[in-house]
């Protein structure tokens, strides 16, 4: 969810939440990024499951992700 959607769902001021998310060390920032990381892990697991089931699109996406990761490695 975007910060705007989170602020709407929680009924809090969007600008205040954005300020909190942009403040290093703020509990709101840690909570927001923890939620993003959890969602990312779930999406990656679903993608791997689809790849293992033989989805050509999932296989191509996994290959692109691996190539991006390898491209970031400095040897």
pLDDT at 75: 53
Assess contact for 6 and 24: CB atoms under 8 A. Answer: no
Of residues 40, 59, 39, the one with CA closest to residue 49: 59
**pLDDT at residue 74 greater than cutoff 70:** no
Residue 1 pLDDT level (bands cut at 50, 70, 90): confident
Closest CA to 65 of 39, 50, 47: 47
Phi, psi of 33 (to 5 degrees): -70, -30
Residue among 11, 17, 16 nearest 2 (CA):
17
Segment 6-23 shows an average pLDDT of 94
């Amino acid at each position: 969810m975007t910060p705007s959607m989170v602020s709407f769902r929680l009924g809090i001021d969007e600008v205040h939440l954005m300020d909190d998310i942009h403040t290093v060390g703020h509990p709101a920032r840690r909570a927001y990024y923890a939620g993003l990381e959890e969602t990312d892990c779930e999406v990656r697991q679903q993608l791997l499951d689809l790849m293992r089931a033989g989805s050509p699109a999932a296989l191509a996406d996994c290959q692109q992700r691996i190539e991006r990761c390898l491209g970031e490695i400095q040897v």
